[in-house]
Amino acid sequence: MTSTTAATPGTTPVPSNAARVLRLVHEEGPITRAEVTRRTGLNRSTTLTLVGELVERGLLHEELPTAGAPGTGVGRPSPVVRAAADVVAAAVTVEVDAVSVALVGLDGTVRTRLVEPQRRPPTPGEAVETVASMLDRIRPASAGSATLRLVGIGVAVPGTVRVEDGTVQYAPHLGWHDAPFARPLADRTGLPVRAANDANLGAWAERLAGSGRGVDDLVYLNGGASGIGGGVITAGRPLSGADGYAGELGHTFVAANGIRCHCGAVGCLETEASRDALAAATGTAPDDLVALAAALAEERPEVERVVDRQVAALATALRNAIHTVNPSIVVLGGFLGVLLDHVGDRILDDVRAQSMTGTADRLRIVPAALGADVLVHGAAEIAFGALLGDPDRISDAVPAVGAVPSATAVPTTAAVRAVAPVPPATATAPHNRTTTHPSSRDDAAEEARTP
């Protein structure tokens, strides 16, 4: 990442004060209006006006605090501001055995959700059709849906996703290679669509609402059915890389005589530390983490040997991550969280033992907090990205019930184009790509990097 000064003028405008207020309340709310004033550094009358405008647009709600709430003891209580629950994003996850769609409010509440089990991994075309038909069903069925406004779709994909156009570059467990996804889904639904790697979204969700809440430098690793995914937050923003492929810590090198990985390399973290190997050693079902935790607690010697090898591999990968991005917290999800609960400080001690002096002094390694909902929140965040960057975008939202815009009603370019300015901290240098519309594609890449 580079500073704002390196970015092309015009492609990364500073967010408006209204956008700053909206993002603050969305990420930190409900909070008092006085706190909004303090946190934004705006003066009180400006905050009053901006909150009033955002309330007017239905993006925020304001109410007096209930008696006895903190801060209500002295003087006139400051109104409490919360993000609207009826402005929603569709959060989509595509996995080998299921496609799910949830409507998530701007206040973070999950309004409704639908899961469609899959007998085999869906093709990209099948996934687009499945998501579209689920949305058609979910919209009228949503509780209180007459007032829901849908701003767009965010998709979590277990693979590498090119941020500029939402093409799935490689999703090994789905069997997708170079598969356009965001654009066909936008064409089919008439809604803006953004797609990203699932672990990158998980990292952001844990930072917003989970174990990494408020932490600016975070490494997230999740161990699941599709191996080990990783995501990095640095200086408070997601680390994306040139194409959106950053954070693939599951494929960092940890063992010279290791197992060959599906990626073609040998000794990747995800081949040396695997959920299936732990499940096999303990005799538990691969997706039953509760049973795995119980089996590990028995501390059987043959199981502990597997645990030791996996902890060593994990510590090596974390050593590499720490020397690269200097996080203050490492968040472990899925079976890695179970492993952490089992061995406690051993992972941190192993990491410290092989780290340069000082680099891991402040480091904490903690289990993920969001559990099964992590990707729902992560996917919703990228769908809200455009609105959070520019609250005027609420006028583009469609009712979540009733007339659904036809696929042809919204031009493709409008549906997937860049629609929001990017906070200065995320600004990157223009990309050296040859495209027919370089500025709009660069905008899209900038936009897509920013949940």
Residues 380, 90: Cα–Cα separation, whole Å: 6
Q: Decide whether 254 or 387 has the Cβ nearer to Zn ion.
A: 254
Contacting Zn ion (CB under 5 A), which of 218, 261, 273, 340?
261
Contacting Zn ion (CB under 5 A), which of 111, 251, 275, 449?
251
Least Cβ distance, residue 438 to Zn ion (angstroms): 33
**Is 268 among the residues that bind Zn ion (CB under 5 A)?**
yes
The interface region with Zn ion, picked from 42-50, 249-257, 314-322, 419-427 by CB under 5 A, is: 249-257
Q: Decide whether 35 or 272 has the Cβ nearer to Zn ion.
A: 272
**Is 449 among the residues that bind Zn ion (CB under 5 A)?**
no
Q: Decide whether 261 or 292 has the Cβ nearer to Zn ion.
A: 261
Q: Decide whether 189 or 252 has the Cβ nearer to Zn ion.
A: 252
Q: Decide whether 108 or 223 has the Cβ nearer to Zn ion.
A: 223
Q: Is residue 362 within 8 Å of 249, Cβ to Cβ?
A: no
Residues 383, 60: Cα–Cα separation, whole Å: 18
The interface region with Zn ion, picked from 161-169, 247-255, 359-367, 405-413 by CB under 5 A, is: 247-255
Least Cβ distance, residue 254 to Zn ion (angstroms): 10
Q: Decide whether 47 or 252 has the Cβ nearer to Zn ion.
A: 252
Least Cβ distance, residue 348 to Zn ion (angstroms): 25
Q: Decide whether 13 or 229 has the Cβ nearer to Zn ion.
A: 229
> What is the torsional sign of CA 413, 416, 420, 426?
negative
Least Cβ distance, residue 330 to Zn ion (angstroms): 20
Least Cβ distance, residue 268 to Zn ion (angstroms): 3
Least Cβ distance, residue 224 to Zn ion (angstroms): 15
Least Cβ distance, residue 229 to Zn ion (angstroms): 12
- The size of the interface with Zn ion (CB under 5 A), counted in residues, is 5
Sheet architecture: strand order including 167-171: 160-162, 167-171, 176-180
Contacting Zn ion (CB under 5 A), which of 263, 369, 401, 425?
263
The interface region with Zn ion, picked from 185-193, 202-210, 253-261, 390-398 by CB under 5 A, is: 253-261
Q: Decide whether 50 or 268 has the Cβ nearer to Zn ion.
A: 268
Q: x/- contact string, 415-444, with Zn ion (CB under 5 A)?
A: ------------------------------
Q: Decide whether 61 or 251 has the Cβ nearer to Zn ion.
A: 251
**Is 317 among the residues that bind Zn ion (CB under 5 A)?**
no
Q: Decide whether 100 or 310 has the Cβ nearer to Zn ion.
A: 310
Q: Is residue 65 within 8 Å of 79, Cβ to Cβ?
A: yes
Looking at residues 133 to 172 of the shown chain, list those that interact with Zn ion (rule: CB under 5 A).
none
Least Cβ distance, residue 306 to Zn ion (angstroms): 20
The interface region with Zn ion, picked from 53-61, 239-247, 267-275, 305-313 by CB under 5 A, is: 267-275
Q: Which two tokens stand for residue 86?
A: 């009826």
* Residues making contact with Zn ion (CB under 5 A): 251, 261, 263, 265, 268
